[in-house]
Amino acid sequence: MKLIEGAPIAELVYRECLVSFEELKAAGFLPGLAVVLVGDDPASKAYVASKDRKCRELGMHSVKIEKPENSTQEELLAVIDELNADEAIHGILVQMPLPRHLDEEEIIRRIDPGKDVDGLHPVNLGKLAMDDSSGFAPCTPSGCQRMLIESGIDTVGKHVVIVGRSLLVGKSLALLMMGKGKGANATVTVAHSRTKDLPSLTRQADILVAAIGIPRFIGPEHVKDGAVVIDVGINRIDDANSRGGTRLVGDVDFDRVAGKCEAITPVPGGVGRMTIAMLMANTIRACRQKAGL
């Protein structure tokens, strides 16, 4: 069994970013990312802080906009309008989920598609569906694909079964994997909460992706011998033996499944490491597009 760790692959992406960054600097451009956070959700705050930290580590311009929980839709749209017009900002990410009283879709649609480095604007999702590489693909699915590529896992003609149909992960990954680009050309099945007899479907997977949000949901009964398993899930569970009384686990029951796999990603230390790396790569690409490089 091969363990597909995220850190070395993310490092590869960061090295590419630095090369690109130097070229941009020489051309008089400094890539800039703005992250908008609404409210005080601790997990969202932690994600935003690590995005900000990574930007600074890479020498990028980083703007963190924190708005109170009770911000109005109009206030948020005004923030987006300002960032759209700001020449120093090449990428805009609105940290999800937003408080329930806000209309996420309208806010995403307001982002300039050329700055939508999270890849959730309809223009970018349309480009993803059309195999048009000038768009931005969502970061977590791109990270999964990059992990497969860098681990030398052939995807051509392989049966990829994705459990989960969210736009952020499952559905976008399905579009990527059935596309004609590198690390794609797969035959894709998407399963979800209404799928019947899930284990018989997932057992057909050469590559099984779990993006469900239920701790250790995928067990050995879901996995074919010799399959590749990509665990997107990040779930915090109680654990009296861990410092702080909790720990992170994936959507896959790693201890019971790993022995059956040709390769598997761990949680933590797997896909999670890739998401921020792909966000940085998208931001640098957005800046390159602006610079005409």
Residues known to be catalytic: 51, 95, 118
Q: Which is nearer to ligand NAD, 12 or 43 (CB)?
A: 43
Mask 161-180, x = binds ligand NAD (CB under 6 A)? --xxxx-xxx----------
Burial category of 193 from C-beta neighbours within 10 Å (exposed 0-12, middle 13-18, buried 19 and up):
exposed
Task: Find the binder of ligand NAD among 201, 235, 289, 291 (CB under 6 A).
Answer: 235
Mask 114-143, x = binds ligand NAD (CB under 6 A)? --------------------------x---
Task: Find the binder of ligand NAD among 31, 141, 266, 272 (CB under 6 A).
Answer: 272
Answer whether 86's CB lies under 8 Å from 117's CB.
no
CB of 195 to ligand NAD, least distance (A): 6
Between strands 246-249 and 235-238, the pairing is: antiparallel
- Is residue 84 a contact point for ligand NAD (CB under 6 A)? no
- Identify any residues that bridge with 162 across adjacent strands, giving them in sequence order: 190, 209
Between strands 159-163 and 91-94, the pairing is: unpaired
Task: Find the binder of ligand NAD among 233, 261, 280, 285 (CB under 6 A).
Answer: 233
Q: Which is nearer to ligand NAD, 166 or 187 (CB)?
A: 166
Q: Which is nearer to ligand NAD, 169 or 261 (CB)?
A: 169
Instruction: Tell me the residue nearest to ligand NAD as measured from the CB.
Output: 166
Q: Which is nearer to ligand NAD, 66 or 217 (CB)?
A: 217
Judged by CB under 6 A, which stretch of 102-110, 128-136, 205-213, 252-260 contacts ligand NAD? 205-213
Going 244 to 246 to 250 to 252, the CA torsion angle's sign is: positive
Answer whether 163's CB lies under 8 Å from 211's CB.
yes
Cα of first residue to Cα of last residue in the chain, in angstroms, is: 41
Token readout for 72 is: 């109005």
Task: Find the binder of ligand NAD among 13, 65, 232, 257 (CB under 6 A).
Answer: 232
Answer whether 108's CB lies under 8 Å from 94's CB.
yes
Going 20 to 86 to 279 to 109, the CA torsion angle's sign is: negative
Hey, how many other C-beta atoms are within 10 angstroms of the C-beta on 236? 12
Contacts to ligand NAD by CB under 6 A: 140, 163-166, 168-170, 191-193, 195, 198, 211-214, 232-235, 251, 271-272, 275
